Structures are given as C-alpha cells and as structure tokens.
Amino acid sequence: MAEMVNLKNTGLRGVKVADTAVSFIDGAKGILIYRGFRIEDLAANSTFPETAYLLLHGVLPNPEELNGFEEELRQARAVPRFILEALKLIPREAAPMDVLQASVPLLGAADPELDDDSREANLRKAVRLISRLPGVVAAWHRIRQDEEPLAPDLSLGHSADFLRRLHGTAPAQDMARDLDVCLVLHADHTFNASTFACREVVSTRAHMYAGVAAGVGALSGSLHGGANARVMAMLLKLEHERDVAGWVRSQLEAGERIMGIGHAVYKTMDPRGPILKDMGLRLGQSTGQPKWAEMSALIEETALAELAKRGKPDLRPNVDFFSAPVYHAMGIDLDLMTTIFAISRISGWCAHIIEEKFGEAQGKPALYRPTAEYVGNYCGLMGCEYKPKG
C-alpha cells in the first residue's frame, strides 16, 4: 500500500514498467541513443529510412539491405483510393491529427496481412505505415485546400516526395535533407506517452494498427505533441514586439510559461536541440526568414538567464522550441507540425510494438494491468455496508 500512495499524481514518472532495447535517454547528461547509436551520429551520417531499419531490426542495414528496404518503402507509398475518397468527406476544418488518427484504422482495413500477427508480417505492416502516413498527411492538406492529392513520385526519396506531395513542387535537395534529419531526430524517444499508449494497446494482442491509432491519439494531446505549433504561434505573436527580452522577463515574473522551455526528462540541453537550432538559422537565411530563428535565440538566451536567477537552471529549451522555426521555414502550416512528428515517430512506435508483441525485452510479452488505489465511496445497494480501510 505504501508504494501505491507514493505513486499518487506521478503520471508514472520514474516508474519502470518494462525493459526496452529500442532507445535510451540519460536526461541528466543529455544523451539519446537508438539501438546503441548516439542521435548526433545518426543525424550526421544516417537517413530516415536507414534509421527506421535500425529501429525495426536492431542493426544498421548493409547497402543491399538498405536498398531493398528503401524499395519496399517506395512501393508502399500510394494511399489506397478509398481512403483518399473518405478524406474528401471529412469537414475541411477538422484537425489534421484527428484526420490522421481516423485514417489509421482505414489503412489497417486495406492491409492484406491485418490478421497475420507473425513477426515477419508485422515488419511488413510497419513498412506500409511508415510509407503511407506521410501520404495521408499530404493528401489531407491538399484536400482541405480543394486540391487533388498527388500520386507518389518513386524517383524521389522518402522526405523529398512528402514535401512534393504536400506543396505541389519538388523541394530543393538541401531542404529535403533537412526534413530527413528532422525525421531521424524524432523517430523515437523511449517510453513517452504515445509510445506507451501503443505498447499498452498491443499488449492485449490487438493488431499494430490499433496500437498506432492509440499512439496518434496520445500525440495529439497538448501536453505531448502539439508544443511546436504553440511555439510557432508564440513567435508569430511576437513578430512586431519591439522588446522581446522584456516580454520574456514579464512572462516569467507573472508566473507564465515560455512555450518550448522545459522537458519532462532532460535536465540539460536536449541533444536534438543544437542540431535543429543550427538548421533553423541556416534555413531562415536560405528562405529569407531569418527573424524566426533569431527571435528564438533571443528568447532562449533571456529565458535561461532569468530562470537561472530564479533557481531553475535545469529548465532548458526542448526539441519543440527549435523545430518550430524549422518547419515554418519549410512552409509547413502550424496545425500540420504535430503530424510531421507523427510521420517520424511511426518508425519508433512500430519498433516498440514489435518488441512488445515478441518479447525482445526481458519479461515480454505481458498484458499491462496496473492497479489503482480506490478512494471513492464504499456504499452498496443495500446501504453503506462497507467502510474505507483505516
């Protein structure tokens, strides 16, 4: 009972619910590792398809394996026609994350191996999900603008073709590479809320699409995946502010939050942050929009100094703080920013689902069934026959 009391209102923070071999975080030192590889090395030397292969299979592919995996992704890109037609029936004002979540069961319905729960079939399902979620996001964006979705261009890479299907024109090679790095950086982050949701659902032996739908739903929440859009909304609000540093100080003095500052895990700089910060500065210059990254740098500098004065040196900018100017420079609308998170994290979700299903980690698979401490009434149909303990 003492342990249960200690868990009150913790949101399971600090409670180890399972082992995993997919990724690792050291929040005190600012370290993020996928399958043994530091995120900085993967961002500099890998691609999103290669990183997705690593997450799914546990090892980096050799050139032949990587070419085969990339070809599987290309061949799976096309979103089934009935799903595109269904998207056209959705009200145009629907939130993109809600549309994406609604689309996942439809993708499952189109999967010929939906009822095959073998490891090999789940790896193939993962390929289809990784490949098709970007197509759903791009199709919805065009549909809500009364434009027809674009078919995939198999001559383009994963990230380049997504930007082409989103905007209607192929991106510059450098921008496509930048998005690819963003997808690498967001691909996994251990047992965050959405990943735990995926794993909890499939621990019941539900299929992969059910788990992913839960993950998308969890990511849509404002405490999880929507922070980058709120950061960009803050920057847009401050576009004509003459004293940004003064605004930051006044916010903190009033006890208000600065969007994008602070993280549930990291107590030092998020290792993905410097990569995205440099990318934002460079993209801002190349697109003629340097003010957003420059404003972010000023907010960061002022906030850190003020927070240190207030005895809160552990509060640092998170990945959303730095990704917002990057996605804005890529022409991605505010309400689509969390979907970019999703089309990356799908690789990690699928890796965790496979680990959950097939017991790669110690003690798995096992149905999640936590307990709770009952604090309600003890009255039965015949009156208050039972009394609270103690």
Looking at the annotation, which residues are catalytic?
Answer: 224, 263, 320
345-375 burial, b at 16+ Cβ within 10 Å, e below that, comes to bbbbbbbbbbbbbeebeeebbeeeeeeeeee
Q: How far apart are CA 139 and CA 128, in angstroms?
A: 16
Q: Is 34 helix (H, G, I), strand (E, B) or coil?
A: strand
Q: How many helices (H) and strands (E) does the chain have?
A: 17, 3
Helical spans, DSSP H, in 23-95: 39-45, 48-57, 63-75, 81-87
Report phi then psi at 218, rounded to 5: -65, -40
CB–CB of 229/324 below 8 Å? yes
Q: Is 60 helix (H, G, I), strand (E, B) or coil?
A: coil
Ranges assigned E (strand) in 52-193: none
Q: What is the CA radius of gyration of the chain?
A: 22
